[in-house]
C-alpha cells in the first residue's frame, strides 16, 4: 500500500513568512495529490487538487507543485487565517484515498 509522509509535522512561522510543506509518497502517484487546510473544530477545506490546481475561491498565495513521489504546498505570505493544520491526500484511486499525517503551522 502507498504511504504518504508529510514534513515537518510542526512548523513555526510569522505573518508574512513564506512557508513550504512537503508530502512524499512511497510510490509514484503521478499528480494525483490534494491538499487540505483544517482549523480547530472545523471540517477540512480543499485547497489544491491534481498537485497544482487551485480550488475555486482559494487565495492565490497558496500553490502546489510536484509529481511522482514528492510534492510541496507553499504559502507565499502567511496570513493570520493560515495558522492551521494541513494534510495531503492521494487521490488516484477510490480504493485507498489515504491522507498524510498532517503539518501544523503555528505562530512563532
Partner 1 sequence: EVQLVESRGGLVQPGGSLRLSCEASGFTFSVYAMTWVRQAPGRGLEWVSTITGSGGLIYYADSVRGRFTISRDNSKNTLYLDMNSLRAEDTAIYYCAKDGKAVAGFESWGQGSLVTVSS
Q: Hey, what's the cell of 27?
A: 510510490
Which residue, 49 or 82, is less far from partner 1 as judged by CB? 49
Which residue, 71 or 87, is less far from partner 1 as judged by CB? 87
**Part of the chain binding partner 1 (CB under 8 A), chosen from 10-18, 39-47, 60-68, 71-79:** 39-47
Type and span of the H or E element at 64: strand 62-67
- Evaluated on CA atoms 86, 84, 106, 65, the torsion sign reads positive
**Part of the chain binding partner 1 (CB under 8 A), chosen from 13-21, 44-52, 60-68, 69-77:** 44-52
Amino acid at each position: 500500500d502507498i504511504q504518504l509522509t508529510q514534513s515537518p509535522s510542526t512548523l513555526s512561522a510569522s505573518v508574512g513568512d513564506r512557508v513550504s510543506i512537503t508530502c512524499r509518497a512511497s510510490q509514484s502517484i503521478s499528480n494525483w495529490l490534494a491538499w487540505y487546510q483544517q482549523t480547530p473544530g472545523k471540517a477540512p477545506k480543499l485547497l489544491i487538487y491534481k498537485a497544482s490546481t487551485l480550488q475555486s475561491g482559494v487565495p492565490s498565495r497558496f500553490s502546489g507543485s510536484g509529481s511522482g513521489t514528492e510534492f510541496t504546498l507553499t504559502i507565499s505570505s502567511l496570513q493570520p487565517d493560515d495558522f492551521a493544520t494541513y494534510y495531503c491526500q492521494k487521490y488516484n484511486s477510490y480504493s485507498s484515498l489515504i491522507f498524510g499525517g498532517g503539518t501544523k503551522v503555528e505562530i512563532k
